A and B are shown apart, each in its own frame.
Chain A
């Protein structure tokens, strides 16, 4: 994939070419591409005047960043304590069955990436599932299919 370097520079300039903002820059780039391309990390490091090793350290340390391409939709199944106690792990397994992927992987058609997350902070509505920016509270095994179909393109 060809990276739009101008776009990257635009994001970098928004934060004033400041090394301290490398995480925020990465996050904004990820929002643009749905993942953080390695080439983008290299370009940003060059612009910020920091060694690539430092850039990749940050890119691999923080869980919200992904150097691997992600699907069109990301499913986050919350495994915070409240969700765990109310069957979050079973909900995750149900997504594994329905989407036929392991946690952390993307479906073959590139539609969904399945991930678990260690608390989304809506614990009163456990178990919680977040797809892209939409939260689903009090989910259950029976609701998993409905959630998936809400984000499936019906041709």
Chain B
């Protein structure tokens, strides 16, 4: 069966009529974050409560994808952006479900479930008022948290699958021209102009041609692609149909991490539904164009996020990158012309086709158009997923959307770009976020991980962390990366243990250059960035480790001790209650003592002490 545009409109009106029959729609976020916080239980309890109270004709309960505010999950949204309830069921599921029902039956907004910013009194009813959402521009994520990702009709009813019809009326060149002029750049981190890539793949000789969607989000601290694949899988498929048509490819593959089982399940379901509607398969939408999509699961290898390694993995081999003197758009998967884009890039395509060039180019900066999804995590108050226009400043993201630094601590750095990026200090917080400015300060946009750190995070330890990560994940094919990351890790480890020498800084920079010049793939070439950027901006911290043999943040265990300042300690016993090792001893209301033999220097006592009576030594 091939659906026409009219069919889609019929589906839309039928779907809308069905939903309008209900007095209220309750959307329970069932993204990975909220599920971890207990969303499935809330959903099931809510369903049965609605049934029990005889409200099934008045209230529709829906499962949706990630809403973004993972920190406060489980999130339940009432109506269209009317009321946002957070932390639902965290204390008592039955009681909270009751409050949800009362909102409808008695018209009473449940005060206890409303969002309140950390340290402030003001409560928000509508999500549109919450700074976390207010500062966003949700285009790619516009349907995340609204539609049920397992129901294709929901996607269609929200405007889905219209773009291919428009695209099929355009020529391949026209589409590629739009994507190029729209200035869409690769969202996986590379920032390469998507249209130019499409053009090369389209012009390349050879057949068949393949298109790939990269959902192998290996950057630690990032989960944008995951939420997109789980929350709105059809958007990716729709983008790929258009790309396939423009490039002249009949087969697409989506490569997803094995660590994301829910994404695999929802994408599989989406592909099945799209096939049954004739949106995939032979004669897509009756256009005469054949196109299908298949899913490949990764195997827990970070390097497979690199384009040539990913292709090697799809071919059933180990995922090792190769030199790119022959471009993958000419010879990629099975040596055929192949076009690979990140899943977020693909999900942007339908919006450009639907809304036009003028609209798209009006968003963002001169060189970076559109929006970017970030996973804002670490020491900010509102951790979660945000979509912001390019050009927004880091300060706005961290202090307005993110609600500032958690607790009484101070901002120290924000890490972007994962193991390929760097740590950005306070002085650059007013930098607009786009591809070029982040690169200019020694970091990079990357795929969108944004990890905020405070003074209790040690920058030397962070650099060592990324090197450990890279030594584990280096595929081992080229010497600069395999040996280079290892030697750099050894030096960093030495510094963290207080055995570093001042020449080590020079050696790190030298080795870093060797990697930048010599490694085969982008991941190896950018591997030194976390070290080089921290040396550049946080030299003092390195020197404290090397010269003074101390870790100012109290993180590096070998050179850290915690002790109690007697004059400040009130003997409130807060720390001894929290100490996992029972290492804090003393009588109530009298100064406590830390037993160094038992202490594992986890620093929990330092973090919980209300009187600053714990000293890092």
Q: Which residues of A contact B (CB under 8 A)?
A: 18-24, 26-27, 54, 57-58, 61-65, 79-82, 84-87, 90, 93-94, 117-126, 128, 133, 135-137, 140-142
Q: Is the CB of B35 within 8 A of A62?
A: no
Which of A20, A21, A133, A141 is B580 in contact with, Cβ under 8 Å? A141
Q: A94-B580, A123-B221 are in contact. Are A85 and B453 (CB under 8 A)?
A: yes
User: For the complex, what is the distance from the CA of A19 to the CA of B334, rounded to whole Å?
Assistant: 12
B198 close to A (CB within 8 Å): no
> What is the bound-complex CA distance between A20 and B315, given in angstroms?
5
Q: Which residues of chain A come closer than 8 Å to B319, judged between CB atoms?
A: 61-62
Residues on B with C-beta less than 8 A from A121 are: 32, 217, 222-223, 226, 257, 259-260
Beyond contacts A58-B317, A119-B221: 4 other A-B pairs, Cβ-Cβ < 8 A, are A62-B299, A118-B473, A119-B218, A123-B375
**What residues of chain A lie closer than 8 Å to B220, measured between beta carbons?**
79-82, 84, 118-119, 123
Question: Which of B276-284, B378-386, B588-596 lies at the binding interface?
Answer: B378-386
- Residues of chain B whose beta carbon lies under 8 Å from any beta carbon of chain A: 32-33, 35-37, 70-71, 73, 217-223, 226, 257-261, 296-302, 313-319, 375-379, 383-385, 415, 418, 449, 451, 453, 457, 462, 465-466, 469, 472-473, 475, 578, 580, 600, 602, 604
Give Cα distance in the complex from A65 to B298, angstroms.
11
Residues of A within 8 Å of B318, CB to CB, are 57-58, 61-62
B379 contacts which chain A residues (CB < 8 A)?
Answer: 85
Q: List 13 A-B contacts (CB under 8 A).
A: A23-B313, A26-B299, A58-B299, A81-B415, A82-B377, A85-B379, A85-B451, A85-B453, A118-B302, A120-B259, A122-B70, A125-B383, A140-B580
Partner of A133, one of B261, B451, B457: B261
**Which of chain B's residues have a CB closer than 8 A to the CB of A126?**
377
**Residues of A contacting B296 in the complex (Cβ-Cβ under 8 angstroms):** 23-24
* Minimal beta-carbon separation of B379 from chain A (angstroms): 7
A-B pairs, top 5 by smallest CB distance, nearest first, are A62-B299, A124-B70, A81-B221, A80-B220, A61-B318
> When the two chains form their complex, are residues A58 and B217 in contact, meaning their CB atoms are under 8 A apart?
no
Is there an interface contact between B449 and A81, defined as CB atoms closer than 8 Å? yes
Task: Give CA–CA (A145, B497) in the complex, Å.
Answer: 30
Q: Which residue of B316, B472, B578 contacts A58 across the interface (Cβ within 8 Å)?
A: B316
Q: Which residues of B contact A84 (CB under 8 A)?
A: 220, 462, 465
Residues of A within 8 A of B35 (CB): 135
Chain B nearest CB, measured from A122 CB (Å)? 5
Determine the distance from Cα of A123 to Cα of B448 in the docked complex, in whole angstroms: 12
Q: CB-nearest residue of chain B relative to A18?
A: B316
Find B36's partner among A65, A117, A128, A141 (CB 8 Å cutoff).
A128
Most buried by B among A62, A94, A119: A119
In the docked arrangement, what's the CA distance between A26 and B261, Å?
A: 16
Q: Is the CB of A64 within 8 A of B258?
A: yes
A67: min CB distance to chain B, Å: 13
B211 to chain A, nearest CB (A): 16
Task: Give every chain A residue within 8 A of B301 (Cβ-Cβ).
Answer: 61-63
- A135-B378 in contact given A62-B318, A65-B299, A81-B465 (Cβ < 8 Å): no
Expressed in whole angstroms, the Cα–Cα distance for A93 and B223 within the complex equals 25
A116 nearest in chain B by CB position: B472
Residues in B neighbouring A124, C-beta threshold 8 A: 33, 70-71, 223, 375-377, 383-385
Say whether, besides A23-B297, A24-B297, A123-B377, A82 and B221 are in contact (CB < 8 Å): yes
A135, B32: Cβ atoms under 8 Å? Answer: yes
Cα-based distance from A58 to B313 in the complex (angstroms):
9
Instruction: Please tell me if the beta carbons of B300 and A63 are within 8 angstroms of each other in the complex.
Output: yes
- Report chain B residues within 8 Å CB of A19: 316
CA distance A27 to B580 in the complex (A): 38
Return A128 CB to nearest CB of chain B, in Å: 7
CA distance A61 to B316 in the complex (A): 12
Q: Which residue of B lies closest to A58 (CB)?
A: B318
Q: Chain A residue with minimal CB distance to B578? A: A142
B223 touches A123 (CB 8 A): yes
Nearest A residue to B314 by beta-carbon distance? A20
| A94 contact set on B, CB distance < 8 A | 580
Query: How many Å lie between the Cα of A15 and that of B493 in the bound state?
Result: 45
**Which of A23, A85, A122: most chain B CB closer than 10 A?**
A85
